[in-house]
Chain A
Amino acid sequence: QSVLTQPPSVSAAPGQKVTISCSGSSSNIGNNYVSWYQQLPGTAPKLLIYENNKRPSGIPDRFSGSKSGTSATLGITGLQTGDEADYYCGTWDSSLSVVFGGGTKLTVL
């Protein structure tokens, strides 16, 4: 059971938009910054979003992040087959540890 709650799976057609939610509490998301990671099959996770809504260099602006209260959202527009991956949210928790969501598998139909 993960501290942060994500939907197990989402799907959408190529070119469409999808959002992935990440729900937490005041102990984590509510009072700290959220990051998002993309894990393509068989590879290491890759940072997509940090500090709620900032993109590292090289991450296209099709990827966006937002936070409201104790929840965060990752948005992906102009879906491509290459976006099929597992997506994880993460943040600092007041238990003095980093916590992750259980991951969301994105299928591009």
Chain B
Amino acid sequence: QVQLQESGPGLVKPSETLSLTCTVSGGSISSYYWSWIRQPPGKGLEWIGYIYYSGSTNYNPSLKSRVTISVDTSKNQFSLKLSSVTAADTAVYYCARAPSGYYVSGSSNYFYYYMDVWGKGTTVTVSS
């Protein structure tokens, strides 16, 4: 079955760029959307953004100016870069597979987007 594994530095200095990679094994990265989600200590989940295997992306409006998600289909990997980090970016970062699409009913589109396979998460601390 498909498994995801996050990797990257566990400590990043303030104002620098956080870089993480998610390696997909047991299946192809082609098709599906692939997401990054984070969870600050003791808090809830925050969606960061997604990338489709073709390279199209969408980001959380609150993070959009600092986020870049990219994909390398040859390596079955996708990556996250978050620039100008502060202590508020300290969190567990998860990558996940995200089936997504929509159903049409009448004149309306109803979207579905959910994360069905998650990595175990990696803790990133922002500190000097």
Q: A-B contact count, CB below 8 Å?
A: 76
Contacts of B119 in A (CB 8 A): 44
Pick out which of these stretches binds chain A: B13-21, B23-31, B40-48, B79-87: B40-48
**A side interface size, CB within 8 A:** 27
Instruction: Mark out the residues of chain B between 59 and 113 whose CB falls within 8 Å of any chain A CB in the assembled complex.
Output: 59-61, 94, 99-100, 108, 110-113
Pairwise interchain contact A91-B115, C-beta atoms closer than 8 A: no
The 8 Å CB contact of B118, one of A33, A46, A101, is A46
B113 A37 Cβ-Cβ under 8 A: no
B118 near A32: Cβ-Cβ < 8 Å: no
Q: Find out whether the CB atom of B112 lies under 8 angstroms from the CB atom of A51.
A: yes
Contact yes or no, A45 B44, CB < 8 A: no
With A32-B112, A44-B118, A51-B112 already in contact, the answer to whether A100 and B44 are too (CB < 8 A) is yes
Chain B residue contacts of A56, Cβ below 8 A: 116
A92: contacting residue among B45, B112, B116, B120, CB under 8 A: B112
Q: B111 contacts A45, CB within 8 Å?
A: no
CB distance from A34 to the nearest CB of B (A): 9
- Interface pair B115/A47, CB less than 8 Å apart: yes
List residues of chain B with CB within 8 A of the CB of A100.
44-47
Q: Which listed residue (B58, B94, B108, B113) contacts A45, Cβ 8 A?
A: B94
| Option from A43, A44, A50, A97 in Cβ contact (under 8 Å) with B114 | A50
Q: List residues of A whose CB falls within 8 A of some B CB.
A: 2, 31-33, 35, 37, 43-47, 50-51, 56, 88, 90-92, 95-103
* Across the A-B interface, the 6 shortest Cβ-Cβ residue pairs: A35-B114, A33-B112, A98-B47, A92-B111, A44-B118, A50-B114
